[in-house]
Amino acid sequence: MTTAPVGPRTFPGSRRPVIAGLGITELGKVYGRTAARFAGDAVGRAADDAGLRLSDIDGLLTSAGVTNGVNLSLQRDLGLTDLKLLSEMQAFGSTAGQMVQYAAMAVATGTADVVACVFADNPLTENRGAGAAYGGAARIPTGWMGLLAAGGIVGANPMYALAARRHMTTYGTTSEQLGHVAVAQREWARLNPLAQMRTPITLEDHQASRIIADPFHLFDCCLVSNGGIAVIVTTAERAADLAQPAVHVHGWGQSHPGHFLRRSDGFGLVSGAVQSGPAALAMAGLRIEDVDVVELYDCYTFTALISLEDYGFCGKGEGGPFVASGVLGPDGKLPVNTGGGQLSSYYLWGMTPLSEGVIQARGQAGERQVADHDVVLVSGNGGVLDHHSTLILSPNPA
Amino acid sequence: MRVGPVVRDDETAAFFDGTARGEFLLRYCPDGHPSSPHAQLCDTCASADLTWRAASGEASVISWAVAPGRPTGRGPDKPTVLVVAELAEGPWWWSHIKDADPDRVTVGTPLTIQFERFSDQHEAVPVFAIAA
């Protein structure tokens, strides 16, 4: 048993980290803009939202998606001078949560006072299918990844499908159970004006949707979106005078199992959330039972299901019956992916669960607002269950 | 499916020399632990002193996925069974199972390694086949 990590509760009250701004650009099939323009727009919107000027920002963390179009040049684009913190960050889908962690540590220690964390991507091109955006390179493949591609292992779909199948053959999880995740999240998306997919779907629709890589149907797979999202991390003291209710960052954790393209007994059976979740909760001094709202990375229905298991919302291997029990969706008792998630709202990597978590923690989610939102868990997932980040957010200072 | 094109780089040159001979090369440390062909250090003991040795070519299914056939001028392709397999020596590898009926594949299905090329200009790629 390790001791509880030194976290925000041990910081001086004035310097405890909060999220004070959220900026969301137009999302989805928005063409003709580079990822850098989306990123700049998102940071500007986040500063406006917080009631800050761009010149108040003294730290900038950037995260690029598949088009790799956001980098240190964003400082110049935004005219930010004399920054005390600046880096490009990359741990795929866990990056957004990790940027908040590094920003929180920076403001808590006085390294910087106002840190913008931004992700933007523009994988969609007009008149080109969404699948092509993540389908792999046009050049002749080379090296180990080229070798895998030549054998048919291209992009994320095959690897996640192999992972999901292993869960199915080990625990009896079914495609219909995965479908419950998709249907429940679409119900939430109906209530979210930001969501790209708001037409209700049934379990039959899920089963009838075309096969992408069996066991995955189309409705098991996330959307592809253009856009950018930024958050502003600052101290509780600074946030007291700002425009939005502060969202306190009470705990965090990461996990990077290191099994990608290696023999791994846990492949498809356990994710990094099993480590990052307890670490984040311990830092916050909370238990999983205390979590009111759950915002998970759901690049596939399966990713949400295995994350629920690994955080401990149900037992290991019981995710299938758990999600099929009616616990999810606006009428269920566990609010999970309350904006529709990456499956139905928008796919901005880890910014999807983070942005919805901030909106819920503030109490600004309108029709989809969860009444009890004192503790919000935000989960990031990158690679093929290879990188995990967890945040514990709350509108309450302690 | 037929295999796609791939060309070598410095990291894969020795491995592709092996596939050209019909061998799937693994890496071995002085203590005899087998590691993946892309390992830089021994997966078991972290030794950096690794040499190449051919695997037996026997493997079994850990997990599989089925990519649907794409439309062609002659009607739809057959579906492709993608697989992660455990080699008899221990390391895992990822490719597809040649001409496999998805209904014949399950956890533990015995496989053998074969090699195919996209063209003479490209490297030989290991693929699996269901063992007779």
Confidence band of B15 (pLDDT split at 50, 70, 90): very high
Give the amino acid at A63: S
To the query of whether residue A347 is one of the catalytic residues in this protein, the response is yes
Q: Which residues of A touch B41 (CB under 8 A)?
A: none
Written as tens digits, the pLDDT of chain A (398 aa) is 455 666 787 787 889 999 999 999 999 999 999 999 999 999 999 999 999 999 999 999 999 999 999 999 999 999 999 999 999 999 999 999 999 999 999 999 999 999 999 999 999 998 877 777 776 555 788 999 999 999 999 989 999 999 999 999 999 999 999 999 999 999 999 999 999 999 999 999 999 999 999 999 999 999 999 999 999 999 999 999 999 999 999 999 999 999 989 999 999 999 999 999 999 999 999 999 999 999 999 999 999 999 999 999 999 999 999 999 999 999 999 999 999 999 999 999 999 999 999 999 999 999 999 999 999 999 999 999 999 999 999 999 98
Inter-chain touch B127–A214, beta carbons under 8 Å: no
Nearest CB neighbour to A165, from listed B5, B38, B64: B64
Taking CB atoms within 8 Å and a gap of at least 24, the contacts of A134-137 are A134/A66, A134/A224
Q: Do the chains contact at A214 and B7, CB–CB below 8 Å?
A: no
B38 touches chain A (CB under 8 A): yes
Cα–Cα distance measured from residue A276 to residue A269, given in angstroms and rounded to the nearest whole number: 16
Phi and psi angles of residue A160, each rounded to the nearest 5 degrees, phi first = -70, -35
- What span, in angstroms and rounded, lies between the C-alpha atoms of A237 and A241? 8
pTM to 2 decimal places: 0.96
Q: How far apart are CA A156 and CA A152, in angstroms?
A: 11
- Chain B residues lying within 8 Å of A268, measured CB to CB: 63
- B124 sits in which H/E element: strand B124-130
Q: Are A236 and A253 in contact (CB under 8 A)?
A: no
- Among the listed residues B125, B121, B72, the one whose alpha carbon sits nearest the alpha carbon of residue B98: B125
Q: Is A128 left (phi over 0), alpha (psi -120 to 50) or beta?
A: beta
What spatial distance separates the first Cα and last Cα of chain B, rounded to whole Å? 20
pLDDT given for residue A348 in this prediction: 98
For A8, A12, A18, A389, the CA distances from A237, given in Å and listed in that order, are 14, 10, 9, 26
Residues of chain B found within 8 Å of residue A140, distances taken between Cβ atoms: 5-7, 122
Q: Sign of the C-alpha dihedral, residues A181, A186, A192, A197?
A: positive
Cβ atoms within 10 Å of B21's Cβ, excluding its own: 11
Q: Pairing state of beta strands B124-130 and B110-117? A: antiparallel
Nearest residue to A180 via CA among A312, A337, A294, A293: A337
Residue A14: per-residue pLDDT = 83
CA angle A165, A168, A173 (to 5 degrees): 140
Neighbour-count burial of A291, counting CB atoms closer than 10 A to its CB (0-12 exposed, 13-18 middle, 19+ buried): buried
Cα A321 to Cα A312: distance, rounded to the nearest angstrom: 14
B52 Cα to chain A: minimum distance (Å): 16
A209 in reach of chain B (CB within 8 A): no
| pLDDT at A2 (0 to 100) | 52
Instruction: Supply the ipTM of this predicted assembly.
Output: 0.96
CB A256 within 8 A of CB A381: no
Catalytic, A297? Answer yes
Using DSSP, state whether A106 is helix, strand or coil: helix
Chain A residues lying within 8 Å of B126, measured CB to CB: 151
- The pLDDT, as a whole number, for residue A128 is 79
Cβ contact, residue pair B107, A148, below 8 Å: no
Q: Catalytic one among A297, A300, A311, A346? A: A297
Does residue B97 sit at the A interface (CB-CB below 8 Å)?
Answer: no
